[in-house]
């Protein structure tokens, strides 16, 4: 699937910001530390985002609960943060569910608990 240039550029900026955070902190902290640090870096770089963005979970047209995105960047990019030993299939499924629920096409799953951050980044595209 081809994504528009704006969302691709936004994804590159978020990945760059995450790399800055990882360079400074390294692995081993709780997810909340990385979330707070990434938000500071996004602010510093002037990248718009909403933190802990609420989304309604619907079933057959009825709201059955509420979820929260770690970050919604630029009103179109979902960013889910982790600080785990390995990304599990359920983490990928979580982002896919968020994409389906919101109608957005691209999500980044970023695991900060890795020696090199590029090994902890997964791009998830909803077809």
Question: CA of 70: how far to CAs of 1, 50, 73, in Å?
Answer: 24, 8, 10
Domain containing residue 11: CATH number: 3.40.960
Per-residue pLDDT reduced to its tens digit, 65-106? 999 999 999 999 999 999 999 999 999 999 999 999 999 999
Q: How many domains does the chain have?
A: 1
Domain that holds residue 82: 5-125
Give the global pTM.
0.94
Neighbours of 29 (CB within 10 A): 14
Per-residue pLDDT reduced to its tens digit, 106-124? 999 999 999 999 999 999 9
């Amino acid at each position: 699937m081809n994504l528009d240039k704006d969302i691709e550029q936004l994804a590159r900026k978020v990945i760059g910001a995450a790399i800055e955070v990882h360079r400074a902190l390294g692995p081993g902290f709780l997810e909340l530390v990385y979330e707070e640090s990434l938000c500071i870096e996004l602010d510093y770089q002037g990248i718009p985002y909403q933190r802990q963005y609420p989304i309604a979970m619907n079933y057959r047209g009825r709201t059955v609960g509420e979820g929260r995105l770690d970050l919604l960047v630029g009103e179109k990019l979902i960013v889910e943060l982790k600080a785990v030993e390995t990304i599990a299939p359920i983490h990928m499924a979580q982002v896919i569910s968020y994409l389906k629920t919101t109608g957005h096409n691209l999500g980044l799953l970023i695991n900060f608990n890795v020696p090199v951050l590029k090994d902890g980044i997964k791009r998830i595209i909803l077809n």
